[in-house]
Copies of this chain bind each other. A is one copy, B any other.
Amino acid sequence: LIWRSTFDAELPLQDARVAIVGLGLMGGSLALALMERSLCREVIGIARRTETVREASSRRVAHRLTTDLADGVAGADIIVLATPVRTILRQIRQLSTMPLDPCLLLDLGSTKGEIVAAMEGLPPHVQPVGAHPMCGKETSGLSVAEPTLYERAPWVLVPLSRTSTSALALAHQLAVGVGACPLVVDADRHDRLVAAISHLPYSLAVALMLTVAEIGEGDDLVWKLAASGFRDTSRLAASDVTMMLDILLTNPSAVGDVVRKASAHLDRLADLLAVGDGDNLRALLLAARDQHTSAFQAVEEG
């Protein structure tokens, strides 16, 4: 491999050295997928904690592992930031001051507006692409990482106006390589949509847990009666708090908007109940059910 002075030369993923910063569920799964499918020349794993490096080493998550960011990204053709959003923002600033080779810089953060704005400040030979694979679990960490995580998942790519075609093509190649379905979306639109289908479900799970806890304070039989519907709806409340806090704080207006919309729907439901308005309550429940039916039909057909 001959080092390129700019990134615009074509680079097949097969020849790339990929440094993955953060070996939790997302980064660990990406590293495992790259390793298992032999998709690139070398995988370097970078973790903050030595325990993670040890665990990653025993699971053969990467060819090389380190806790040193500068050491890990040196000579990388692709750098993937797979940390919580506000850590990604800090790491973009750190990388801006490091002597990097020409490379593609990708992040896997769950909000994109602040991240792509920060990416504008990267030196010209570092080609940025925002990314968000739409998969995950309510559990986190390397222990739950798996090489199949990205299979068939929508993988949002957010190129900047400064991003070269070949950098975007390489990001695309990476997503397809691990089995995902890439689609290009701009940052504002992404953040507005994920507020509704990802950050709102989490917020509802939080509100559910806090409400049931209030009831449970007076009567702890409530926990014993909890049925499967409660488990499903509350599952996301178990998500990693640092990750979710970063997501909410970097997408405040879109999240605030959908949270208040949902709260208004709940108030209307309570109002209809208070006056015993069965007709309008039925209409509201039917609308939700019909939306659910058409949404999941559309997904299955599309």
Q: Which residues of A contact B (CB under 8 A)?
A: 134-138, 153-154, 156, 183, 185, 189, 192-198, 200-216, 219-239, 241, 244-245, 248-249, 252, 255-256, 258-263, 265-267, 269-270, 273-274, 276, 278, 281-282, 284-289, 291-293, 295-296, 298-299, 302
When distances are taken between beta carbons in the complex, the residues of chain B under 8 Å from A261 are 211, 214
Is A302 a contact of B203 with CB atoms below 8 Å?
A: no
- What are 6 A-B contacts defined by CB distance under 8 Å? A185-B221, A209-B295, A210-B291, A233-B235, A241-B285, A263-B266
Is B209 a contact of A288 with CB atoms below 8 Å?
A: yes
Main SS class of interface, A: helix
Q: How far is the CA of A241 from the CA of B287 in the complex (A)?
A: 10
When distances are taken between beta carbons in the complex, the residues of chain B under 8 Å from A210 are 262, 265, 284, 287-288, 291
Is A154 a contact of B229 with CB atoms below 8 Å?
A: no
- Number of copies of this protein chain within its complex: 2
Q: How far is the CA of A207 from the CA of B288 in the complex (A)?
A: 8
Partner of A221, one of B193, B236, B267: B193
A204's nearest neighbour on chain B, judged by CB, is B204
When distances are taken between beta carbons in the complex, the residues of chain B under 8 Å from A211 are 196, 200, 258, 261-262, 265
When distances are taken between beta carbons in the complex, the residues of chain B under 8 Å from A248 are 269, 273, 281
4 additional contacts, CB 8 Å, given A209-B291, A249-B281? A196-B211, A198-B227, A200-B211, A204-B262
**A121 CB, nearest partner CB in chain B, Å:** 22
Q: How far is the CA of A153 from the CA of B291 in the complex (A)?
A: 30
When distances are taken between beta carbons in the complex, the residues of chain B under 8 Å from A232 are 201, 232-233, 235-236
